[in-house]
Amino acid sequence: MAVIYVDADACPVKAEAERVATRHKLAMVLVCNGGIRPSPNPLVETVIVPEGPDVADKWIAERATVGDVVVTNDIPLAARCVEGGALVIKPDGEMLTDKNVGQALATRDLMTDLRAADPFRQGGGRAFSKADRARFLDGLERAVRKAMSLKG
């Protein structure tokens, strides 16, 4: 049975992921360093990992496998999960695959270098929109159906 793993710290689509998991009767695991309220939904497990760099990422990457779905904005985590055979979707609905995760990782590294070179560089990403949520729901639905077919 497919599992949906959510990199839950600062994830804006936990409720949407829970709705999809519930509709398909799939287990969902929220992995975080704490600070989120556990869901009363019996399909949703909250795993609180110790503080530390990338502890939640390591926990997810060690468990996600072929036919599982991972929801994350963390590109290095996405790369590890794709390598392990999991399906990966970002909160804005973008699927990360073996065909595009390398480019996403290179872009992330470039942006990190640019920010380091110019400490006065201001700004962040754009605001999360209703359209992003809609794209996420559509993408997660497609990923879950594919995951279920892979798990048999």
Domain ranges of the chain: 3-151
Query: What stretch of H or E contains 5?
Result: strand 3-7
Q: 43 with 20: CB under 8 angstroms?
A: no
Cβ neighbours of residue 105 closer than 8 Å, sequence gap 6 or more:
75, 76, 79
- Edge-to-edge strands, sheet with 87-89: 44-48, 27-32, 3-7, 69-71, 87-89, 95-96
CATH fold group of domain 3-151: Rossmann fold (3.40.50)
**Residue 12 main-chain phi, psi, to 5 deg:** -85, 0
- How far is the CA of 82 from the CAs of 33, 40, 146, in angstroms? 23, 30, 14
Place of tokens 């399906």: 87
> pLDDT digit of tens for each residue in the chain (152 aa)?
899 999 998 899 999 999 999 999 999 999 999 889 999 999 999 999 998 888 999 999 999 999 999 999 898 999 999 999 999 999 999 999 888 766 656 555 555 555 566 666 665 566 788 999 999 999 999 999 999 998 76
